[in-house]
Amino acid sequence: MESLANDATLLYVAYWVAVLTLLFAFGLLTVIVFLRAHAQRRERRDERARLYWSQAMQHVLAGKDVQVRRLERSETTGFVEAWNTIHESLSEPDSRRLTSLGHRVGLVEASRRMLRGSYHHRAMAIIALGYLRDREVFDELASFLRDRSPIVSLCAAHALGQVDPPRAMAIFVPMILEREDWVPGNVARILARNEDGSAARELGDVVLRANAGTMAKMVRFLADIDSVRAAGVIRELLDSSVDDHVTSVCLQLVNDKQDRERVAGFLAASRWHVRMHAAAALGRIGEAADGQRLEPLLADTVWWVRYRAAQALLALPGMGTAALRQMQQRQTDAFGRDIIDHVLSEHEMGGLA
């Protein structure tokens, strides 16, 4: 009898566990269906707003007089998406033609509501305010440069660069040294969009104060946006006692023929990667007489140094394939003869391609 009672209790417990499990699953399914339906309604609402406001912006750009109203809270996301999308393909003068529309619909107030939302909404709102180019929101946008999300902080940097370029670059460029989570490619694009020269000025000042870990990165940024200013900074760094990595980067970037002698001085450097980059640089900016300086590197103990030296010799004015073959014949080092064969084979294959 006791065994039957225990079995009945177990069946009773199992029954209610099954019932509760089914109820929980049904409740969870109901929540999922509700959330999905809500998301679909929101997507349809945002799409209607995008279409409506995209047409309004196109009419403004076409020179038509458009009567607009203040943005409703429910259409803010759709408007901001349309605003950001249409500005991506506009020149700055055309972009400024939409400024009045942005103010009339209350874009600043609407964006501020989005700034309190998710990181995606914050990024969208920041980009929108950048296109509005309202200097009154500069300080508000600047606070997002320190946002823990690198996406949001870089969006803020881009927006600030549109609102007030000199002031923005004075803040943004020094922060590049601090924010290791910023993707260099994104930073480079923001700097490249600067048209008033303030980014290059700030970089020129910051490079020489940077530590060895960030100096090379800053020099590359400067060379990308202002080669003339970068040339002066590169000379100063090559004439200074800087880290070998920085020296190598400067040698990769040097392009002025007046730096021939400066570059040639690194052909005998103790670090092989410095010798390698010096050889490649001399191949870019050197003259025919520099062949005598490069020839000894054909016997270097490091393959990459020999390889870049042979390539540089082939690139020198007046050298060519025949002259390099003549140089090969007088090489006593087997490695030197082999590397010339290698480089000439590559050259011939490239010519056939």
**pLDDT tens column, 178-237:** 888 999 999 999 999 998 899 999 998 888 888 877 888 899 999 999 989 999 999 999
**pLDDT tens column, 94-139:** 888 899 889 998 999 989 988 888 888 899 999 999 999 999 999 9
φ/ψ (deg, to 5) at 219: -65, -40
Place of tokens 């001399």: 282
Residue 38 scores a pLDDT above 60: no
Neighbour tally for 315: CB within 10 Å: 16
**pLDDT tens column, 301-330:** 999 999 999 999 999 998 888 888 888 888
Quote the CA–CA distance of 87 and 352 in Å, as a whole number: 45
pLDDT cut 70: percent of the chain above it: 92
Three-state SS annotation for 124-142? HHHHHHHHHCCHHHHHHHH
pLDDT at position 43, please? Answer: 62
- What pTM did the predictor assign? 0.74
Domain spans in the chain, listed from the N-terminal domain onward: 46-62+74-163, 182-253, 254-353
> SS3 of 121, please?
helix
**CATH code 3.90.1820.10 for 254-353:** no
CA 302 vs. chain centroid, Å, equals 34
